[in-house]
Amino acid sequence: MAQFMDRTTAGLTIGFASVAILGVLVLPDWLMSQILIAFSRALAVLGLLVLWRTGLISFGHALYFGLGAYTVALLGKDLGITEVLITLPAAALVASVVGFGLGFVIRKYREIFFAMLNLAFSMVLFGILVKTEALGSTDGFSVEQPTLFGMGTDDSTAKLTSLFLGICAIGWIASVLVHRYLGSVLGSLTTAVRDNEIRVEYLGYSVAQAIHGKYVMSAALTGLAGGFTALALGQVDPESMVNWTVSGELVFVTVLAGPGSVAAPFIGSLVFELLRTYAFELVPYAWQLIVGGTLLVVIFFLPGGLWSLIARIGGGRKTGQRGTTAGTTAGTTAGTSAGEAGR
Amino acid sequence: MDLVLTILVEGLGYASYLFIVSLGLTIIFGVLKILNVAHGAFFAWGAYSCAFLIGEFSVMGVSDIGTMIAIPIAALVVGVVLGSAIERTIIRNLYGRDEVIIVLATFGLFLVLEDVILLVFGVDPYFAFQPTLAIPGVQIGGIYQDGYKLTMIALSLVVGLISWLVLNRTHWGKVVSAIIFDSELAVAMGVNVKRVFYVVFLAGAILGALGGAYIAPTISVSPGFGVEVIVLSFAVVVIGGMGSIAGAAIGALMVGMLRAYAVLQWPEIELFVVYAVMAAVLIFRPEGLFAPAKARKI
Amino acid sequence: MKPVHIAGVLGVGMAAAFAFSAPAVAKDTVSLGIVAFLSGPAAGPYGVPGRNGAEMLIDAINKGTLPAPYNTKGFAGATVEAEYIDESGGNTKQVSEYRNLVQKREVDAVVGYVSSGSCAAIAPVAEELQTLTVMAVCGTPRIFEEAPREYVFRTMSHATADNVAAAHYVKEMMPDVTSYTGINQNYAWGQDSWRDFSLTMTDIMPAAKVSDKPQFPKIFAGQYGSEISALSLEGAELVHSSLWGGDLEAFILQATPRGFFHQKKVVLTVGGVSAYRLGKRLPDGVAIGSRGPYGILVRDRDTPLNKWFVETYNDTYGGYPSGAAYQYAQAILATKIAYDKAGEAAGSFPSQQQVIDSFKGLEFDSFAAPVKMALGGGHQAVTEHMYGLVKWDADAGVLSVTDVKVYPAECVMPPADKTSVEWIESGMPGAKC
């Protein structure tokens, strides 16, 4: 995958460009809004995908999601900084700095302990936010209207369109970069680490450092996701951004999407968002049932996630044969291996 | 002095139901190696069924104290019915899958069961306060404590004692201990692991439901209240050591006391102190404070 | 925020053409999104009676059966269609639901919201999406004090009235109180309530000592054992609480077996709303408010509109209407009056802007008392306020209130040019009690 424009990159480019054009020209506001929220979350899922390729699943990434969201919201509220070119990078930065710090501890853990330690850290942030009146306690607070190059807008459609195009651009950049990274030597180590850590060490690579790097990367992506979600919704609060159920939801979407491709998080996240919206509209008291049921169905019948379905139907033509087949294999192994390496 | 006594009583009361719930979680983890998020649903189902039954009994004219019979009924029925159904359909087909995938499957299951509660019991909260009125209050440390809370403490002691006896003094318990120690070896020795898994899962489910059923009269039983209990009991078993009964007791005591201290003296830290301790334990003693002996395999 | 369109920079002006549909000229229906807790601890005591009140009123409005002068059909002649949305699930979820209502389901206006958290989150979004939003119940004063609002209205008094009136009532009925504490939820409503109450107490009963350990449990915690111990352990004689809905009921049921209500004097600012549900389980002698002239406190008021409301509610749903039913019905009534007035002035079905213009500063007679949209530039209502003591009538088997005191709006709400805190801290100048 050394050439400048491999098939996955081309596919991603075409995909994001067509969503952007469709969104602006054809789609109604509400659907743009949903894509915006879904793609924002997809950035976090992309971050979890990087970890999952290593066999690690975090049940605490709401920590980084919340950090990103609150960074954007607090910059606007307390410092009056609403420039998205500052607030969004700041969201990613804060998340990655915290991820870098905690990474020194977390990189030693695998499997359930990895999941649990992340959970504990995220619940600490949750507890602090809920009890601190200056940070809005249970209510959270509203996010100031964002500006770009110092310019803002009072027109909700213009704001939505701008954010929508922004998430398409950032989604494209992030997925291409992650795709490149997974194709690089450092990135390919992921699968090797999952399968046999000791062998990787013998090859002369530090497993701890490789995992630390991935962890920071996933933290940054998740922070960015939180920041974007805060802008898209105009509100942050601990219950729907930092509680453990949010972490569960992120992992859920990761599994729903499947580890097959960097495009999967975006598709999976959109499917999830639409599923949730329609389930909520049709059966307000059973939407969790539908969502949870879907999760079970995917785990039992579709271990490679939605992506494996797309790959099967489309024969992988759309976004590159190599990426897809490699991915599906990874998905099935990740799904079925009992994690012997760590026992 | 009053303050210390109050923290002790509050902490013990809180620890008692957390211990019962976490005990269920920890034995399932110890034996099946499954971290069961749906345990929160056993808790919620236990509480709902119990609150519902207490209400019905009360309408039928059962005395306040008599309604307490609803507690064991709810725990057993929920544990056996729900536990069997879930073990037979979902859990059994997940053995051997990636641990984290299993956690996620139980998360999906939890979401499903949460909504089934709404469909079965409706969206209104249930109040089943009758038993708390029946047991007279006691003055401890200068304030009135409800007698019901004290019976909760007693019950948790009984439950802990029974579990210890079963595990250490019966044939069954020894088989279970053998599986916790090394399930492959146990199979080689001729143990019917599937059956043991089933029974242990049921026992865990009953304990989860019992925790919920017993706490039901003292709280408002309303949708979504199982959510917090899950992470709290995760914290308990992580602090104590996953798969250990003594660990669950120590973990529950620590969590209960920390929370009681926080509420009474330092409310700002109430919600996160437990998780900070959980993180600290994971960092410095990842196997927990009371980890069961582990077979080292290479 | 500069009113320059980002859209131009990004070259997406085209999108606007698709998104803006031409405003409707003639309308035969008005669609309302009505938001209330339909599940969870706040549903039974608050959301469901609130929805019932709204439903009943919309029905009567569509048929034209409200007593005069409100017996015209519909909103400015248009039939009202309502969609009911659940308020539970957190503020961020409410914001996305709100966007959904406006963008996807294209409702003309949104009415409702019980929780102050929902309202604080919705207000800026309503401004962004430029949609008429009538808040029915929520209490935090911050909605109109933080920023001027154009599209948002609130048709009842805010938390300041509840707590200033509570302090006055305490002074009148329990003048010997020497110390007080509180238990309030740790979100906007609870924090504002405690702040307004303790500030007012400092003003009017400076000798009473305020506790340094008021309790702030999480909203919907449902479990108050430790908090009850903490309050019992304190010497404070009086306990102030703005707990509401299921939380309040849980607190009362958990505190009663511990003799709490025998040891403490208690004032519950939202106790009146749960009164009918609790019945004899609401301890005698507790001071309750209903967030204004609503529910149990005005059950026997003799206005034609109030009699109609109480009777129709009893016929439709059984039982007396609680405060929540009054408050939601009042929001619907106010919206109808604003539409009708705007329609009359315009001579045709009014535009949203015309409705908003007629809503501003509106004054009307509601079920039990007059309402004036006096604050926040004509967006925030003020009404009189009431408190009473709970008395269980064992013979009749009904709960009633005794020693009811009425406080005029000018006594318990700040003037238009001051925020609540400024007003109370400066000694409540201009208050007419």
The CATH number of the domain holding residue A181 is 1.10.3470
Q: How confident is the model at residue B159 (pLDDT cuts 50, 70, 90)?
A: very high
pLDDT for the residue B201: 94
Q: Look at A277 and C100 and tell me if their CB atoms are within 8 Å.
A: yes
Task: Tell me the residue ranges of DSSP E strands in C217-323.
Answer: 238-241, 265-268, 287-289
Mean pLDDT computed over A310-322: 57
Q: Which of A110-114, A324-328, C202-206, C252-256 has the lowest mean pLDDT?
A: A324-328
pLDDT for the residue B196: 87
pLDDT for the residue B293: 54
User: Does residue B291 lie in a domain region?
Assistant: no
User: Does residue B295 lie in a domain region?
Assistant: no
CATH code, B48: 1.10.3470
Check if C63 contacts B (Cβ < 8 Å): no
C-alpha distances (whole Å) from B255 to each of A311, B236, B237, B285 are: 48, 7, 10, 17
Helices (H), C187-224: 188-204
User: Does residue B298 lie in a domain region?
Assistant: no
3-state secondary structure of A341: helix
Q: Higher model confidence: residue A339 or residue A283?
A: A283
Check if B37 contacts A (Cβ < 8 Å): yes
C-alpha distances (whole Å) from C255 to each of B129, B137, B153, B265 are: 11, 11, 19, 20
- Token readout for A5 is 């424009």
User: Does residue A1 lie in a domain region?
Assistant: no
Q: What is the domain count for chain B?
A: 1
User: Does residue B292 lie in a domain region?
Assistant: no
Cis peptide before C69 (omega within 30 of 0): yes
The 10s digit of each residue's pLDDT in A152-168 is 777 778 888 999 999 99
pLDDT for the residue A125: 94
Which residues, other chains included, contact A50 with Cβ-Cβ below 8 Å and sequence gap of 6+?
A: A178, A181, A182, A190, A214, A217, A218, A221
How does strand C132-135 pair with strand C179-183?
unpaired
Residue C237: how many CB atoms within 10 A of its CB? 17
Q: Look at A292 and B107 and tell me if their CB atoms are within 8 Å.
A: yes
Q: What is the domain count for chain A?
A: 1
The 10s digit of each residue's pLDDT in C269-284 is 999 998 988 888 899 9
Residue C304: how many CB atoms within 10 A of its CB? 11
Q: Look at B272 and A112 and tell me if their CB atoms are within 8 Å.
A: no
Q: Look at C121 and A150 and tell me if their CB atoms are within 8 Å.
A: no
How does strand C385-393 pair with strand C179-183?
unpaired
- Domain positions in chain C: 19-158+301-382, 160-298+384-425
Average pLDDT, chain A: 83
User: Does residue A342 lie in a domain region?
Assistant: no
Instruction: Tell me the residue range of the domain where B29 lies.
Output: 2-284
User: Does residue A301 lie in a domain region?
Assistant: yes
Chain A stretch 277-316, residues whose beta carbon is closer than 8 A to a beta carbon of chain C: 277, 284-285
pLDDT for the residue A190: 67
| Amino acid code (one letter) for C388 | G
CB-based contact A68:A230 (threshold 8 Å)? yes
3-state secondary structure of A141: strand
| Amino acid code (one letter) for A14 | I
- Token readout for B227 is 């959510």
Q: Is pLDDT above 60 for A288?
A: yes
CB-based contact C86:C38 (threshold 8 Å)? yes
Give CATH superfamily name and number for C19-158+301-382: Response regulator (3.40.50.2300)
The CATH architecture annotation of domain C160-298+384-425 reads 3-Layer(aba) Sandwich (3.40)
The 10s digit of each residue's pLDDT in B72-100 is 999 999 999 999 999 999 988 888 787 77
**Residues on chain A touching B41 (C-beta within 8 angstroms):** none
Nearest to A122 by CA among A214, A229, A249, A252: A249
**Residues on chain B touching C258 (C-beta within 8 angstroms):** 137, 143-146
**Residues on chain C touching A235 (C-beta within 8 angstroms):** 91-92, 95, 121, 125
- Name the percent of chain A lying above pLDDT 70: 89
Which of C90, C128, C185 faces A237 most closely, judged by CB atoms?
C90
Which of C3, C6, C218 faces A138 most closely, judged by CB atoms?
C218
pTM of the model: 0.86
Check if B268 contacts C (Cβ < 8 Å): no
Instruction: Tell me the residue range of the domain where A321 lies.
Output: 7-337
Residue stretches of chain C with pLDDT short of 70:
1-26
d(CA A260, CA A257): 8
Q: Higher model confidence: residue A291 or residue A62?
A: A62
pLDDT for the residue A61: 94
The 10s digit of each residue's pLDDT in A200-251 is 777 777 778 888 999 999 999 999 999 999 998 888 888 889 998 899 899 9
User: Does residue A2 lie in a domain region?
Assistant: no
* For the ranges A277-291, B171-185, C39-53, C312-326, the one whose mean pLDDT is highest: C312-326
3-state secondary structure of C85: strand
